[in-house]
Structure 1
């Protein structure tokens, strides 16, 4: 199984670690599902799971298991995962140096930074065992 080469900043490591530590599965892992979409190139969802699902790859990030489905592994290769906590947004941010900057804005800059996507902390939902199919 090929795992992506990705960078996880200290801020993102801290967020991932806290999500797992304070979940109902503190010995489990952080499952990150990334798909194409949105202006910045990524839509992402995450949950804390007791174990990897069939087909998931597993990375160890500062001692915490991160489970990545196959599609996510492909999309995250070369990406930096960061965490932003500002008055206007809070969540994981994905920085892909290989993606083109978004061209949907008329105020775009030719020297725009690499594409970024943010997953809001407020979008986190806790899945019950019954709805998770366990």
Structure 2
């Protein structure tokens, strides 16, 4: 697998505009998602990453598991691990990297989002 995940689109669906709308899944994030999926017991599960209004900065990230891909979804894959996000969320996530970080403060998924103009201290919400 390449270092950068690409959206699961057919050639007819990919345009210059959608090619720039990429979410990169880090090696660490892929390993953690694979571990969590294995513990759920359903190998068809994918991590669903969403952006919704709310949080202390205007938008907030949401994480959950899903085994379905909707018509407006984009699927990003790294080492067989899949992350899915909807079209509206990808507008705010384009160019971002999903990472999983473990340090003395704890362990968590982190989004490195170049579209965020501000974020809260916890890292779960942002302004665009």
TM-score range for the pair, normalised by the shorter chain length = 0.5 to 0.7
8 Å CA contact 1:25, 1:49 repeated in 2: no
Over the residues paired in the alignment, what is the CA RMSD in angstroms? 2.9
Q: How far apart, in 1, do the equivalents of 2:58 and 2:31 lie?
A: 24
> Which structure has more RCO (C-alpha within 8 Å, separation ≥ 6)?
2
Deviations 1:30-66 (A, max 9, x none): 2111235445665222222222234222222221222
Computing the radius of gyration from Cα coordinates, the structure with the larger value is 1
Deviations 1:8-43 (A, max 9, x none): 222111112212222132223221112354456652
Q: What count of residue pairs does the alignment treat as equivalent? A: 108
Pairs within 5 Å for 1:80-99: 80-99=97-116
Q: Select the structure that is richer in strand.
A: 2
Question: TM-score scaled by structure 2?
Answer: 0.64
Shift of 1:100: 2.8
Q: Pick the aligned partner of 2:51 from 29, 34, 37.
A: 34
What residue number does 1:125 align with?
A: none
Question: Tell me, which stretches of 5 or more residues in structure 2 are unaligned?
Answer: 1-12
